[in-house]
Amino acid sequence: MSDDASRPSLLPANSSALERALDLGFARLLERIDPPFPELMNAGQTPSSFLPYLAADRGVSEWDAAASDLEKRLTVSLSWQIQRQAGTRQALNRAVESLGFTPHVTAWYEQQPSAHPYTFDVQAIIGQGWASGDHTRLIQRINAAKSERDQATITVVHQTRGGLGAAAALHGPLSDGELVLCGALPVLEFGARLISIGISQRYTINDYDLRAQP
């Protein structure tokens, strides 16, 4: 009883017995609830159902509700790093990694021969399935991470590794129109024993193209 008497309360001094009883009852109910923090705000530990709200809280601009749970957690966990380091190589690396791809960024002065100033090349190495619309999502995330003055050249490398021996049937050359309309790389049929193969399609994205993406 002494604990209840010393409990902090927002009720005024002239509160009724009923009001004090309700205040005490609700306080007891709240004590039974395990506080969800700090796990609730941790992208790696929060419940999957809370991830969209955590993404909105952290300013994630590109979100796919159909993405895997792992990709969603990567997107949320890297969002603040990307925003704090926007315009840097590290932000571009994180933007590619947030989709589960392996990044390789080369600035214009690192290329042989040197490219135009304020341009850079981003290689996104894919070791897993490539879903329809992933190229658009990759463009949007790189656009959000890069400097406004910079122009990106994106190379998508679909990489598969296997045992000794190699056999492959490759799709014909891809055009920019096919990439935009289909939103996915073509299905590649490989032989049963594949040692290593990489297929890439390079296409330049200027500022107009980036702004025009849906």
Structure tokens at 132: 């329809």
Count Cβ neighbours within 10 Å for each residue of 150-176 and write b for 16 or more, e otherwise: bbbbbebbbebeeeeeeeeeeeeebee
Distance CA(9)–CA(201), nearest Å, equals 66
In the chain, % of residues over pLDDT 90: 53
Distance CA(182)–CA(170), nearest Å, equals 17
Q: Which residue has the higher pLDDT, 185 or 8?
A: 8
- Give the mean model confidence (pLDDT) for residues 66-87: 94
- Give the mean model confidence (pLDDT) for residues 10-20: 92
Residue 128 has pLDDT above 80, yes or no: no
Q: How confident is the model at residue 131, as a pLDDT?
A: 78
Task: Please give the single-letter amino acid code of residue 42.
Answer: N
Distance CA(206)–CA(152), nearest Å, equals 7
Q: How confident is the model at residue 16, as a pLDDT?
A: 94
**Over the stretch 77-124, which tens digit does the pLDDT of each residue have?**
999 999 999 999 999 999 999 999 999 999 999 999 999 999 999 999
- Give the mean model confidence (pLDDT) for residues 161-174: 49
Q: How confident is the model at residue 206, as a pLDDT?
A: 47
Task: Please give the single-letter amino acid code of residue 152.
Answer: A
Print the SS3 string covering 35-96: CCCCHHHCCCCCCHHHHHHHHHHCCCCCCCCCCCHHHHHHHHHHHHHHHHCCCCHHHHHHHH
109 DSSP assignment: G
Residue 166 has pLDDT above 70, yes or no: no
* Residue-range domain boundaries for the chain: 1-33, 43-84, 89-214
**Over the stretch 148-161, which tens digit does the pLDDT of each residue have?**
999 999 988 887 66
Residue 182 has pLDDT above 70, yes or no: no
Is residue 210 within a helix (H) or strand (E), and if so which, with residue range?
A: helix 207-212
Entry pTM: 0.62
Residue 76 pLDDT level (bands cut at 50, 70, 90): very high
Q: Which residue has the higher pLDDT, 95 or 199?
A: 95
Q: How confident is the model at residue 209, as a pLDDT?
A: 47
Residue 50 has pLDDT above 90, yes or no: yes
